[in-house]
A and B are shown apart, each in its own frame.
Chain A
Amino acid sequence: MSNIPSELKYASSHEWVRNEGDGTVTVGITEHAQELLGDMVFVELPEVGDQVSTGDDVAVAESVKAASDIYAPVSGEIVEVNEDLEDSPELVNSDAFGDGWMFRIKLDDAGELDALLDAEGYQNVVDEE
C-alpha cells in the first residue's frame, strides 16, 4: 500500500498539495501516481509567472509507460518550479512527496484548499480504482 501523508491535501487527479502557510502551496504527484506511471523520464513544468486556474493542465509527467497531464489543484500564480527535475526526473519516483515536488502556486483564494481531499478522502479515491 502506498504512503498517503495525513498533513497534505489531495486532488482526485493524484496531485498532492502542501500548504506552506505563507499564501503559497507546493504541488507534486502522489506516490500512488508515480507507482502507476513507472520510471519518470521527462517532466515538463509550467513557467514561473504563469497564471493558472483550478483544473488547468499545467505540467506533463512523462514516464516509460505514458505521458500524463498534471492539473493545477488550485488557482493562482506559479512562483517556483523544481528545476532539479530537468536533470533528475527520477526524483518523482524516489521521493514523490519531497524532492520530487513540481511547482509552487501563490494562492488566489486560500478558501480553495477546503475543497481538496484529505488523506482519508484520497485513500478512498485510490481504493475505488
Chain B
Amino acid sequence: MTNKTVLHAKHLEAGAKMVDFHGWEMPINYGSQIEEHHAVRTDAGMFDVSHMTIVDIQGEDAKPFLRRLVINDVAKLQDAGKALYTGMCNEQGGVIDDLIVYFYTDTEYRLVVNSATREKDLAWINKQAADFQVTVTERPEFAMIAVQGPQAKAKVATLLDAEQTAAVDGMKPFFSVQAGDLFIATTGYTGENGYEIALPEAKAADFWQQLLDAGVKPAGLGARDTLRLEAGMNLYGLDMDESVSPLAANMAWTISWEPEDRNFIGREVLAEQRAAGDQPKLVGLVLTEKGVLRSGLKVVTEHGEGTITSGTFSPTLGHSIAMARVPRAVQPGDTVQVEMRKKLVDVEVIKPSFVRNGKKVF
C-alpha cells in the first residue's frame, strides 16, 4: 500500500515525477532537480515533508524519559521552542534514528523522526516509555512544508498574519514557535536559512499554493538529497543505521557525556568505543575531475579501506562530493583513492561539510 501526503494533487499539478519513497509516493523532481537545487541555494524552494513523523512526548516524566532515550541531553534546553539535533541508540550503541527534539516545558516536547523508520521508532519509543509517566502521541494530522533558501523567510513573511509575524520576529536558528495554525521552526536540511512549517492537513494545499504564488519553487527529493549532502548532513539508512555507532557517523557532537551519571541508552558501549578510539569516522570526499562518487564505492587509504556512504554531483560546486566512512587515522587534507568504474581515482579528504548559505566552505 502506498501512502500519499495531502499535497499529492499539488505535486501532480506542478508536473512532478513521483516515486516510491519507503512506502510514500513522493515527488523526486518537477522537471530538473538541478534547477530546484539552485532555486534553494539562490532564492527559495519548498519541499513537502509531510511524510515525516511528528511525535509529541508529554507527562511529568517527559524530561527524564528523553534524557534516557536520546544521546544528547535535553536538560540543556532552557528556552521554550529551542530545538536539539540528536540520535537515539540501541543498547549496543547503534543508531536507531536521528531526530530533532523541540522543547516547550519540562513536561512537553516534540520529536520529529524519519518516515522510513517510523514503525521501529514508534515501537522503540513506546517500549522505553513503559517505565516512565509519559504519553507518546503521533501527530499524523499535520502536514509539513520546508521552505528553504536565502529568500525563504521573506517570502513566507508575505503570508503571515500580525500574530505570526510577531511570533517569528527575531527567531534564532534552531527554534520553533506555535503561531495560530502554524508550527514554525527555523530548522532545515539544506544548509540555508528557512523554516520547517507544520500545519493542519486541511490548510496545507492552500498554504502550498500561496507559497507558489509568492515565488517559492517546489523542489523534490532529488534536490533535497544534493542539498543535504552539500551541507554535510547525514541521511539515515545511508550514512548510518543500527549497525553504526554515532562516533562513526560524525554524530559525536550530538552526544552529551556530561553529567556522567546520565544513563542514556547505549552509553556504556559508546563510552568504551570513545576510550578505545578505534571507531572509523565519517569524512567528506572531493573529486574535482569528471565522474560522480556514489554510495557503496570502495575507498582505499594507507590506513586501510573505507566505503562511500553517500555520494553525488554537487550542483553548487560543479563536481562530485561524497561522505565516506574510513579508518580514524585518515585526516582532512589527505589524498585517498576511490575505485570508480575499475579505476582508482584520487580524491581529497575534508571535514564533511561542503556548502553553507550558498558558499563553498572548504
Q: Which residues of A contact B (CB under 8 A)?
A: 38-39, 41-42, 44, 60, 62, 64-67, 90, 93
Contacts and interface: CB of A to CB of B under 8 A. Distances in A.
Interface string B283-324: 000000011101000000000000000001100000000000
Given A38-B29, A42-B292, A64-B292, 8 more contacts: A39-B33, A39-B34, A39-B222, A41-B313, A62-B292, A65-B222, A67-B291, A67-B292
18 contacts: A38-B33, A38-B222, A39-B33, A39-B34, A42-B290, A42-B291, A44-B290, A62-B291, A62-B292, A64-B222, A64-B292, A64-B313, A66-B294, A67-B292, A67-B294, A90-B32, A90-B34, A93-B32
Interface string B17-37: 000000000001100111000
Contacts of A38: 28-29, 33, 222
Interface of B: 28-29, 32-34, 222, 226, 290-292, 294, 312-313, 341
Given A38-B222, A41-B313, A64 B33 contact: yes
A54 to B, nearest CB: 22
A67 B312 CA distance: 11
Nearest to A44: B290
Contacts of A39: 29, 32-34, 222
The 6 closest A-B pairs by CB, nearest first: A41-B313, A39-B34, A42-B290, A62-B292, A39-B32, A39-B33
B326 to A, nearest CB: 23
B312 A64 contact: yes
A41 B32 contact: no
A45 to B, nearest CB: 11
Nearest to B314: A41
Nearest to B289: A42
B34 to A, nearest CB: 5
B292 A41 contact: yes
B226 A64 contact: yes
A66 B295 CA distance: 11
Nearest to B17: A35
Contacts of A62: 290-292, 313
Contacts of A90: 32, 34
A33 B222 CA distance: 18
Nearest to A69: B341
Contacts of A67: 291-292, 294, 341
Nearest to B28: A38
Contacts of B290: 42, 44, 62
A129 to B, nearest CB: 15
Contacts of B33: 38-39, 64
A64 B34 contact: yes
Nearest to B36: A39
A93 B222 CA distance: 16
A41 B33 CA distance: 11
Nearest to A60: B341
Contacts of B32: 39, 90, 93
- Please indicate which of the listed interface residues B29, B312, B313, B341 has the most CB atoms of chain A within 10 Å of its own CB: B313
Contacts of A66: 294
A66 B292 CA distance: 8
A42 B292 CA distance: 9
A73 to B, nearest CB: 22
B126 to A, nearest CB: 37
A44 B222 CA distance: 23
A90 to B, nearest CB: 7
A90 B341 CA distance: 22
Nearest to A41: B313
A60 B29 CA distance: 23
Contacts of A42: 290-292, 313
B295 to A, nearest CB: 11
- Please indicate which of the listed interface residues A38, A39, A66, A90 has the most CB atoms of chain B within 10 Å of its own CB: A39
Nearest to B226: A64
- Please indicate which of the listed interface residues B33, B34, B341 has the most CB atoms of chain A within 10 Å of its own CB: B34
